[in-house]
Amino acid sequence: MGYEFDNNIPIYIQLQQHFRMRIAAGDLAPGERMPPVREIAVKYGINPNTVQRALAELEREGLAYSQRTIGRFITEDRDRIAEVRRLLAKDAVENFIKDIRPFHLSLDEVVGVLKDHWGDDDATS
């Protein structure tokens, strides 16, 4: 399977989050056709109804859309994708701050640690 689910969180929510992250990261391009429900179910070893529920939530969020008889696609709304990317980044930063705050580092020290670990191979640096 290659993907481990947390037993404390509904699988459809975890799958929805997985696809949300892939869309935000650009792994799934705007307008790209998503794999069929059954293919996703087999890949992740889960029930097709669970996959359908996760994908329906992505549609509700505006990250995917269905075209009858053709399939489901990633939204072409780049502003929506950018908004989700910002929200995911904000959540990650909030979690990072919560985790690092007990070390009582100054902001400059935190930035220094980030710079040390950011890496030169990233095109956005």
The reported pLDDT for the residue numbered 119 is 81
SS3 letters across the chain: CCCCCCCCCCHHHHHHHHHHHHHHHCCCCCCCECCCHHHHHHHHCCCHHHHHHHHHHHHHHCCEEEECCCEEEECCCHHHHHHHHHHHHHHHHHHHHHHHHHHCCCHHHHHHHHHHHHCCCCCCC
- Flag residues of the chain having pLDDT under 50: 1, 125
For the entire predicted model, the pTM comes to 0.81
The reported pLDDT for the residue numbered 1 is 45
The reported pLDDT for the residue numbered 121 is 60
The reported pLDDT for the residue numbered 85 is 97
The reported pLDDT for the residue numbered 3 is 78
The reported pLDDT for the residue numbered 13 is 97
Amino acid (one-letter) located at 109: E
